[in-house]
Amino acid sequence: MFVVPSRLLTSLVLAAGVAVSPVTTAAQNLFAPAITVDEQVITAYELQQRARMLEVLNAPGDPNEAARENLIEERLQLAAARRAGIAPTEEEILDGMAEFAGRADLSREEFVQRLSQAGIAEQTFRDFVRAGVSWRQFVRQRFAADANVAEAKVDRALEGGAVSSNIRVLVSEIIIPAPPPQAAEARAIAEQISTYTSEAQFSAAAREYSATATREQGGRLPWQDITDLPPQLRPILLNLEPGEVSAPLPIQNGVALFQLRGIEESGTSAPEIAELEYAAYYIAGGRSREALARARVVASQADRCDDLYGIAKGQPANVLEVRSGPPSSLPTDIALELSKLDPGETSSALTRNNGQTLVLLMLCSRSEEVAEDEDARRNEVRLGLRNRRVQQLAENYLAELRANARIVER
């Protein structure tokens, strides 16, 4: 899939009032075949719709020609995926649509509505995403094992400074509460989940077992710069292939699992986090209904950490703690939750005191610095080289498919 330009939101708004531009085609019937690719049909309607979508998204080049090229390649990609037994689930397609829409800061429903206002059918968007998801899954299955990078090549890249270390990841999470009475059962569940290989399985487990706010989204987190994540977690994620699940990671009163859904080099430098300041407000009752309700009330009353002092006034001194330090010095579970928050936001995913005390975390502030860790830098360079190798193999294979295909334009 191409990257959504920053002008996308404005384009979608303006496009709602613009008439659909015609696509030149010999076919009088929009649903008659315009192109066949190894007997797979592309209709004039599909060409028109795709050209319109590319126009709205400000894709570079002539939208009519780009639509033709895109749809031909997607037919080849879908056929290759089918031959490999790959068929994205409905949930994976919807997730892909939501992810794409999120790049414009829109929900899937909002994005579809904007496209509709511009004369673009939801099915056009769905077909576009389905092809992209199918091809990514195929590339992962076909080429990941052939893209190992020699250490000498990593050395040369580091010496030459030719590879960007700007890595961001797309991750899903599960945090299973595991106070002592439930620890063995939680570990057994986590071990089972760690064997999962599909996003649908992991998402279902998140909805059933996870204690985090992301459980309703199947544990899915948005794209994050690798430097925003706790240093303890980075090597775990960098050693995963997309689709793989980490081994269970013990945390206080719980166990965490992570599935890598995507990884890429971003276009901008992401500074390291130098220090986090956070507040922890402790509520008796663990994850009971009453304690969680109390956490929601406190969160609604506090817009910043200073507000928590007023809420805690008159209570024992140990009900509120405000601490600061570099992410590497914080407990892994706290550092992980804070990585998902903006200043003033809260999380009630964690417990203390063997699960008997609920922790309402609030991020007070986050300060950044530019710093490099040699091992992390090396891993990121290796990953960048590996991703480029996979991309090259995939492009070469697609070119071979196209050279061998029978493409007929009517």
Domains 8-144 and 166-270 share a fold: no
Residues 121/217/278/374 CA torsion (nearest 10 deg): -80
Q: What CATH class is the domain 8-144?
A: mainly alpha
Judge whether residue 398 has pLDDT over 70: yes
The pTM (predicted TM-score) of the whole model is 0.53
Cα angle 363, 95, 347 (rounded to 5 degrees) comes to 15
The answer to whether 351 touches 337, Cβ cutoff 8 Å, is: no
More confident residue, 183 or 160: 183
Judge whether residue 217 has pLDDT over 70: yes
Judge whether residue 6 has pLDDT over 60: no
Domain limits of the chain?
A: 8-144, 166-270, 272-369
Q: What CATH class is the domain 272-369?
A: alpha beta
pLDDT value for 188: 92
pLDDT value for 376: 67
Mean pLDDT score across all residues of the chain: 84
Q: What CATH class is the domain 166-270?
A: alpha beta
Query: Average pLDDT of 98-114?
Result: 86
Query: Average pLDDT of 204-208?
Result: 94
DSSP-assigned letters across all residues of 125-182: HHHHHHHHHHHHHHHHHHHGGG----HHHHHHHHHHT-S---EEEEEEEEEEE--GGG
Q: Give the Cα separation of 190 and 175 in Å (integer).
A: 9
Tell me if residue 250 falls in helix, strand or coil: strand
CB contact set of 199 (below 8 Å; sequence gap of 6+)? 91, 92, 95, 172, 218, 243, 259, 261
For the ranges 103-112, 214-223, 342-351, the lowest mean pLDDT is seen at 103-112
For the ranges 45-54, 69-78, 226-235, 372-381, the lowest mean pLDDT is seen at 372-381
Tell me if residue 400 falls in helix, strand or coil: helix
pLDDT value for 213: 86
pLDDT value for 231: 83
Q: How many residues does the chain have?
A: 410
The answer to whether 238 touches 230, Cβ cutoff 8 Å, is: no
Judge whether residue 69 has pLDDT over 70: yes
pLDDT value for 152: 73
Q: Give the Cα separation of 246 and 262 in Å (integer).
A: 14
Within 10 A of 146 (CB to CB), how many other CB atoms are there?
Answer: 9
